Copies of this chain bind each other. A is one copy, B any other.
Amino acid sequence: MPKKIGRQTLCFDNAYIIEGFSIAGPKERDGNFGSYFDICLDDDKFGEKTFEKAECKMFKTAIDEILKKGQIHPDNIETVLGGDLLNQIISASFCMREYDASFIGLYNACGTFAESLLLGSALVDGGYKDNLICISGSHFSTAERQYRYPLELGVLRAPVSQWTATGVGASVVSSFKNRKICRVTKATAGRVIDFGVRDVNNMGAAMAPAACDTICQFFRDTKTTPDDYDKIFTGDLGRLGKKILKDLLREQEIDLDGKLEDCGDVLFKEEQQTNQGGSGAACSAILFNSFILDKFKKREYEKILLVGTGALLSSITSFQGESIPCIAHCLEISL
């Protein structure tokens, strides 16, 4: 099979996901997927002095536990690819002090997990690595402090806002076929799309055009249609963003009715008052590494798309009057 189709799509023959792991916070435990997560925290400070240290500890826990769960010796993991939402991706970077694997730091906001799977699959499929970990996560309280307001202020949340998920998701991508749960078979790397949205509360509206662009490109490149997939999971557009994406795709004559699920839309229960649903680099990472992999284990999914979406703003760019450029990377995951 060719290794590429068109400008944006990569093809993989030998990139197997052999293990997945998810750790999540108490609010995520009480959401729709609590029973699927490997570890749920009762205290989202995780016994640490600060929320930042708690986020870092979730990364360490995810790496330690995925190795145990998969009975993989740490020496067999060659590289960890990943990142988080904090300035200088400190949660991923600081966690990596504890390990002998090399580290590739990534940042595509909430699309970082999809980015890590794209690159990790290329490194494994290309023969450069045999086993590596793709990882990403976020924490509600560190994200609020950094991007919005200190929690203590009790600022009212806008109706269009989403709730940053607390958690870390990790996958082991491997060249060893006999242990596979599923395969990463294709990946479309996304372009940066900016539709001029300036409302930092409304990430769904900002990110939907990027998701639309990448999904259309994927279908064009691979000559597939939504009918070829059991489900199409977007990262964290939330309820409003999902609606916008459906409208945008309909303009392109692509109908995802009955196929489209958004990780942000479904993560929390209606009564949990998250407004538009979940978001954050944890959102698609923990759902993929629990519920979605479980469906593959049970052979209830044969082929899905995972479309990680990210809003690439910072607080400085918003202060300087900039709009919000966004990105989406699309992965085809097959049994």
Contacts and interface: CB of A to CB of B under 8 A. Distances in A.
Contact of A97 (B94, B109, B119, B192): B192
A94 B3 contact: no
A103 B8 contact: no
Interface in A32-76: 49-50, 52-53, 75
A207 to B, nearest CB: 13
Contacts of A109: 88
B102 A83 contact: no
Interface of A: 2-4, 7-8, 10, 49-50, 52-53, 75, 78-79, 83, 86-90, 93-94, 96-97, 99-109, 115, 118-119, 122-123, 125-130, 146, 188-194, 312-317, 320, 322, 325, 327
Given A191-B103, A312-B93, A320-B52, A7 B325 contact: no
A122 B128 contact: yes
B316 A52 contact: yes
Contacts of A100: 7, 191
Contact of A4 (B49, B86, B129): B129
A52 B88 contact: no
B126 A122 contact: yes
Given A4-B128, A50-B320, 8 more contacts: A3-B127, A7-B100, A52-B317, A88-B109, A94-B325, A96-B325, A103-B192, A105-B327
Contacts of A87: 87-88, 314-316
Given A102-B191, A189-B79, A90 B317 contact: yes
A108 B115 CA distance: 15
Contacts of A126: 3, 122, 125-128
Closest 7 CB pairs of A and B: A126-B126, A102-B189, A3-B127, A93-B312, A96-B192, A88-B314, A87-B87
